[in-house]
């Protein structure tokens, strides 16, 4: 039986949700391979729960470290794999076995991070670009999570298009009962959840909210997600400018997130760049009407189930959100189309197509 090693070091993070769901649904398919999962110590029990028939191996090596390049490479080689699936681009670049790499996006190469030292960050971007190119060249197969990402990768490096296969991710309905956020009960609000890094364009959303609130003083903006330096900077700006009704929730549980999706008047996704755009699909699956940026992959993923706007055009963004808020027929139609759109995606299909890629990579010379 051929042995496939899956790098699941990102398990348990927001970006690691991909590998968690892939492993869970691949296990259900009972693949004809011996699957070995490499993950951090604190995720071993989780992996045992979702994939009890897969072998689990603890690894201490962090991403983008010398330990990854040396110790992690040695650990992988000791397992004698027939194929290694790196679920993120970070990997030992000198490993010369059969490799499949999932590449999510090139956002890190496009945007600066004002919270980091600009010189150090520029050096890291240069290294990251090289790492991406190396992964593209040496992998037997590349999995891209959207056609937009595939095009981006082809622009970055000269590889054959057939080397890259697009396999979509999916969204999951939260199964536990919704839990109300008491301070928001009975209030009309628009919302965003996720990281507040620069390309997420939250300054644009706050500016749009200011204009909307001038017309509707009772409207609230909810920004949900673990607080960090970026959220702190946005909160400071809101306080300095005296913008009312902006709620920074910090971390919310799945039950609270379900309630937010179910009660928001509009989920707004103003991002400048995405590889897939999962939050909008999650909002749709819970019945929220979505107003979305038309940047990068988002129209590809959301189809006709979102009200689009140019994320650099404030008046257009205000207009799109306004239409969703005050045109009940439009909001109802978006919700209906959203339910239909999310039905196009399935984690089981993701897993099945990934196994097909494994077979192709294992049979290639």
pLDDT at 303 over 90: yes
Of the listed ranges 17-31, 108-122, 220-234, the least confidently predicted one is 108-122
pLDDT tens column, 172-218? 999 999 999 999 999 999 999 988 999 999 999 999 999 999 999 99
Task: Give the three-class secondary structure for 269.
Answer: strand
Q: Which domains, from first to last, does the chain contain?
A: 3-170+346-363 (3.40.50.2000), 182-342 (3.40.50.2000)
Beta bridge partners of 292: 269, 308
Q: Where are the beta strands (DSSP E) in the chain?
A: 3-7, 34-39, 55-58, 83-86, 99-103, 141-144, 164-166, 188-193, 219-224, 246-250, 266-269, 290-293, 307-309
102 exposed, middle or buried (CB, 10 Å; 0-12, 13-18, 19+)? buried
Q: Which H or E run includes 152? A: helix 147-156
What burial letters (b/e) apply to 61-90, b meaning 16+ CB within 10 Å? Answer: beeeeebbbeebbebbeeeebbbbbbbbbb
pLDDT value at position 15?
84
pLDDT value at position 123?
79
Confidence of residue 69 (pLDDT cuts 50, 70, 90): very high
Confidence of residue 246 (pLDDT cuts 50, 70, 90): very high
pLDDT value at position 362?
97
Do residues 286 and 178 touch, judged by C-beta distance below 8 A?
no
Confidence of residue 270 (pLDDT cuts 50, 70, 90): very high
Q: Which H or E run includes 88? A: none
Of the listed ranges 12-21, 123-132, 217-226, the least confidently predicted one is 123-132
d(CA 17, CA 297): 19
Higher pLDDT, 9 or 226: 9
pLDDT tens column, 52-62? 999 999 999 99
User: Which of 256, 360, 273, 266 lies closest to 311 in space, CA to CA?
Assistant: 273
pLDDT tens column, 103-138? 999 988 877 777 677 777 787 788 889 889 999 999
pLDDT value at position 126?
87
Confidence of residue 363 (pLDDT cuts 50, 70, 90): very high
Q: Give the DSSP letter of residue 70.
A: I
What's the rounded mean pLDDT across residues 322-349?
98
Beta bridge partners of 38: 7, 57
354 exposed, middle or buried (CB, 10 Å; 0-12, 13-18, 19+)? buried
Phi-psi region at 239: left, alpha or beta (left = phi > 0; alpha = psi -120 to 50)? alpha
What's the rounded mean pLDDT across residues 132-153?
96
d(CA 256, CA 311): 28
Confidence of residue 65 (pLDDT cuts 50, 70, 90): confident
Do residues 268 and 302 touch, judged by C-beta distance below 8 A?
no
What's the rounded mean pLDDT across residues 42-49?
97
pLDDT at 84 over 80: yes
pLDDT value at position 293?
98
Name 163's Cβ contacts closer than 8 Å, sequence gap at least 6.
139, 141, 142
pLDDT value at position 327?
98
d(CA 245, CA 210): 10
């Amino acid at each position: 039986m051929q042995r496939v090693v899956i790098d699941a070091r990102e398990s348990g993070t927001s970006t690691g949700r991909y590998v968690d769901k892939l492993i869970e649904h691949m296990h259900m398919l009972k693949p004809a391979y011996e699957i070995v999962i490499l993950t951090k110590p604190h995720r071993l029990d989780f992996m045992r729960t979702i994939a009890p028939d897969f072998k689990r191996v603890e690894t201490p090596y962090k991403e983008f470290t010398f330990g990854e390049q040396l110790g992690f490479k040695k650990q992988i080689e000791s397992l004698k794999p027939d194929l290694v699936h790196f679920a993120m681009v970070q990997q030992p670049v000198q490993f010369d076995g059969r490799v499949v790499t999932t590449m999510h996006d090139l956002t890190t190469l496009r945007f600066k991070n004002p919270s980091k030292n600009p010189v150090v960050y520029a050096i890291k971007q240069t290294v990251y670009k090289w790492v991406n190119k190396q992964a593209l060249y040496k992998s037997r197969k590349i999995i891209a999570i959207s056609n937009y990402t595939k095009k981006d990768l082809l622009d970055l490096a000269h590889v054959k298009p057939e080397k890259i296969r697009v396999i979509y991710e999916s969204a999951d309905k939260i199964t536990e009962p919704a839990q109300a956020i008491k301070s928001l009960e009975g209030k009309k609000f628009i919302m965003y959840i996720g990281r507040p890094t620069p390309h997420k364009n939250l300054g644009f959303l706050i500016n749009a909210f200011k204009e909307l609130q001038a017309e509707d003083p009772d409207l609230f903006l909810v920004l949900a997600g673990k607080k960090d330096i970026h959220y702190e900077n946005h909160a400071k700006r809101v306080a300095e400018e005296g913008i009312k009704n902006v709620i920074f929730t910090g971390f919310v549980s799945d039950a609270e997130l379900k309630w937010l999706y179910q009660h928001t008047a509009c989920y707004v996704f103003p991002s400048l760049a995405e590889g897939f755009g999962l939050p909008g699909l999650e909002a749709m699956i819970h019945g929220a009407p979505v107003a979305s940026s038309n940047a990068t992959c988002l129209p590809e993923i959301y189809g006709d189930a979102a009200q689009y706007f140019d994320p650099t055009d404030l008046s257009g963004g205000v207009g799109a959100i306004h239409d969703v808020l005050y045109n009940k027929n439009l909001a109802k139609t978006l919700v209906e189309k959203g339910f239909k759109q999310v039905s196009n995606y399935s984690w089981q299909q993701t897993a099945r197509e990934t196994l097909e890629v494994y077979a192709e990579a294992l049979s290639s010379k």
